Structure formats: C-alpha cells, structure tokens
Amino acid sequence: MGVEREADRLKFAGRVGLRAVKPRCVLICGRSQGWTSQRIKTFPSLDACFHKLVVMTHNPVLKRGRRMLEVAGRG
C-alpha cells in the first residue's frame, strides 16, 4: 500500500472515529419480480464473481428494512 493511501486512510479513521476493516460495497440492481427461473438460478453466480461487492435486488433490501421497522416497533 502506498504511503499516500495509508495517510488518507488514517485521516479518514481519525475524522469518523472508526477504522474500516474489510469494507464491502452493496450494489442494488432492480427488482427480481417477473424474472425467469433461469435468471433466478444464475443470479447467485453474479454475486460470487465480485470480491468485496454484494449484488442484491431491491426485493430483499425492502423486506429487510420492513422487518427492521417491525422489530423497532415502527412498522
């Protein structure tokens, strides 16, 4: 890792008060409603192709959010 990149990382950690370890990125790519069975079957392989990137559709993100609101007593 270059000195400049390391310095930027340390500045960021100091500014936000935490250190990111193994950061991940989530890509939400539309809805899976109306997908063919072949597309549903091959979707997990798309997610597996990327390192540190989670590929999801809108449906599970929305479902998870609704569940979180229910648990918090706001849904």
User: Which conformational region is residue 73 in: left (phi greater than 0), alpha (psi within -120 to 50 degrees), or beta?
Assistant: left
All residues at 6 or more sequence positions from 22 whose CB lies less than 8 Å from its CB, including other chains:
52
pLDDT bin (cut points 50, 70, 90) of residue 45 is confident
Please, are residues 5 and 33 in contact by the beta-carbon 8 Å criterion? no
Highest mean pLDDT among 2-11, 24-33, 61-70: 61-70
Beta strand residue intervals within 7-46, DSSP E:
25-28
pLDDT tens sequence across 59-75: 888 999 999 999 988 75
For the chain, which residues make up each domain, given as ranges?
A: 22-75
Given a cut of 70, is residue 6 above it in pLDDT?
no
Give residue 66's pLDDT: 93
Q: Kindly report the pTM of this predicted structure.
A: 0.48
